[in-house]
Homo-oligomer: A and B are copies of this chain.
Amino acid sequence: MSIVVKKWRELAEVKAELAARDWFFATSGNLSIKVTEDPLTFLVTASGKDKRKQTEEDFLLVDAFGKPIEDTNLKPSAETLLHVEIYNRTNAGCCLHVHTIDNNIISELYGDKGEVAFSGQEIIKAFGLWEEDAPVRIPIIPNYAHIPALAKEFAKHVNGDAGAVLIRNHGITVWGRDAFEAKKFLEAWEFLFSWHVKCLLLKQAAVLPVD
Residues of A within 8 A of B (CB): 17, 21-22, 25-28, 50, 52, 99, 101-102, 104-105, 108-110, 120-123, 126, 130-132, 143-145, 167, 169-171, 180, 183-185, 187-188, 190-191, 194-195, 197-206, 208, 210
Contacts and interface: CB of A to CB of B under 8 A. Distances in A.
Contact of A201 (B102, B170, B201): B201
Contacts of A25: 123, 187-188, 190-191
Contacts of A132: 143-145
Contacts of A195: 101, 104-105
Contacts of A190: 25
Contacts of A22: 21
A25 to B, nearest CB: 5
A52 to B, nearest CB: 7
B206 A26 contact: no
Query: Which secondary structure dominates chain A's binding surface?
Result: helix
Nearest to A120: B169
A72 B144 CA distance: 50
Contact of A126 (B26, B197, B202): B26
10 contacts: A21-B22, A26-B123, A104-B122, A108-B199, A109-B206, A122-B171, A132-B144, A200-B202, A201-B202, A203-B208
Given A21-B22, A26-B187, A198-B197, A104 B121 contact: yes
A204 B197 CA distance: 12
A17 B180 CA distance: 21
Contacts of A143: 122, 132
A169 B27 contact: no
A183 B99 contact: no
Given A28-B126, A99-B123, A197-B202, 11 more contacts: A21-B22, A25-B123, A50-B180, A101-B194, A104-B195, A105-B195, A120-B169, A122-B169, A200-B208, A201-B201, A201-B205
